[in-house]
Structure 1
Amino acid sequence: MSSSDGRFLTPSNHGALVGMAVAIGMVWTILVFSIRIFIRLSIVPPFGQDDAAASLGLIVAVGQATATLVSVHYGLGQRESRLTNSQLDGFLQSSYAAAILYIIAIAASKCSTSLLIARLTRTKHHLIASHSITVFIALWALASVLAIAIPPWDSEKRLKSYQPDRYTRWAVIEGFSMAIEGIIFALSIYLVWSLYMPLKTKAVVVGAFFCRILIIPPTIVRLRFLSSVLHNTDLTYDSVNPAILTQVVMHFSLMACTIPCMKQFLRAFDTDLGHTININQKSVHSFTGSGKSRSQSHGGSYVLHSIDKSGEASTPTRSAGHQLSRGVEEIRLRPEKVLSRADVSRANADEAQEEHSFYSEGSERAIIRKTQRWDVTFHAEQREE
């Protein structure tokens, strides 16, 4: 049988199933990655380290998919007895490359998620935890690649003691991989645990990172299929299911590292009905009480602004000749002869060191902030004629 017959699905050739899995996975991965690039270039710049890791993962995934298709060309999915020695060697070499690239791709997706968590916070212990996990992932990837690469994959060892030994290595590698997914999920919980925000909001944040936990079931199934290959004598034909599950795990892992960024993408298409987005993006973060930037406000106190129908905060009309010692100007809120003033101040002035959490170096819309407690005081005095 010629190797070109791998394009067709027959009872003795299942290589086309692998080709379909590769095609579907690449389409979805590229689509989701394009959304991520759109978010970083148009909605929430800049392009950060987490995006660079995701980009690396996509590039490696393209290489892994190519190596998988080459293995299909050389006989993956076909009966081993119908392949020539040159075809079998080509299958083994391409499968060897695909296995190494698979590890690098999923490691890049894990690093992208841990770096994204580091991007979402400016708290020191959160940053230490996130970067520590990133370093651990890199070390795991290096050790895993060496475990698969040594000894080399050759035709003389494939059906003997080398193959069971390889399954043992895969079991250890995937075991650490699933443990890392659990650690990343636990880190997302740790990220929002001490924040003062509604439980529903915390659940949304944690739920976005929970998607990575869904990678664990197909990983377990993949190991199960790899184990079943040990008990069969037809390596090329019985490797179809592990190859398909490899594509599922790799592509879903790459897509999962973008899911926490999707809210920013959906915000770009918001119609502003109900003022669900523009208010907290502009009126809350862009204006301070005295019409100045946050760094110019005094004493942690702000004057309330009116919000028009467009969701923008309108600049208050200043009362002539009235300036408070704390730097907050009085505003004429009512036309009658009553002098009214609304002051908003933080309950604890010693918390001023948390001010940098609101800036986060220009990437404030993608950062989870610590909630401050504020006191609102209203004053009304009879205005002199």
Structure 2
Amino acid sequence: MHIAPLSPEDPAELGGYELLGRIGHGGMGQVYLGESPGGEPAAVKVIKPSVVDSGARQRFAQEVEILKTVWGARIAALLDADAEADPPWLATEYIEGLDLSRHVDSHGPLPALLTASLGATLAEALATVHKQGLLHRDLKPANVLLGPNGPKIIDFGLAVFAESSVSLTSPNTVVGTPSCMSPEQANGERPLTPPVDVYALGAVLLFAASGHLPYRADNIHVLFHRIVDPTTAPDLSEAPEELVPLLTAMLAHQAQDRPPLNDVVRQCRALIEAQGLKVAQARRRLTSYTAAPAHLLDELLAVPRAGRPSKTLTESTDAPADPPQRPLVPPATPARLVRLPADTPAAPPPARSKEHSATKGRSLRSSAQARITAQRLREAYAASTPF
């Protein structure tokens, strides 16, 4: 996962979480890598001050309430939140690793066996969400994180209760990622039903196996037209032959023609077992294949010893060994993020304003390593930023 340095304007902490770097951003806010007083890493999401109004707070509060109801082994857990804070924030489980989009862009498509394992894992996770009366509504490659313990689904900010009038959007508004959106969702139909997530999962698996999504177009209007046109079939080129029947069914134009998630799990299991493996073995191979070769968080918190050059945040030891019968894991070339200067003397902790020190009754942790690293990141950012 890419970790960018904090800017001088970024807060030093939120809700007791020490902020160490930036890991993402969106239209409404910024996502930081944070650490709790006890050392627990977290993804801390914050609404931009420029968009904080009563409506944004209400939507953010709704998102928090929905996240409280979502659980599962393959779902990034909600850790804490405060929709009334200034700025509003929430903290979720931090998964160390690339998202599926970045992994495929960097290392190429997954083999058919590992795509089937990914499909079984994600389908089972989504089935758990659906049992809770929820839909994801925005499943896409960037919302699948490939962590050291296997893939996990993130970003339920667009989730809605199935068969309910509860929604985070206005009527006749289409929200989601068009390239992974089902035809009925692209048409703005209500209410949405579980097959929208089946379709999105099919798009994710097609991307994992082929490197492209079902429909592509330079113009957003052309893309929407192709998605909703029943005569335009999804592009399954470059998908492994053994996956085509399943992907065809999952990407069916009509919602009622798509298989239920438990059937997706069953078909993925059949593909795995046809190659002489158990599902658990395929899961381990998938994790070994996709796990980040470096422990980015450890590198971020590491203080270089005297006389030793510092590493980049993604520099690491060798990747896990490949299975002897067939090389499953090609040599990985990790993305280079930011280099901490080895000859930079240890800087004192940055001065804190009263606003940064106020933590609603919680005490800040006193991690010298994290504070020194955060200070260096800020200095590196300030030195390289042209504005």
Q: Does the TM-score normalized on the shorter chain lie above 0.5?
A: no
TM-score normalized with structure 2 length: 0.27
Larger radius of gyration: 1
Structure number with the higher helix fraction is 1
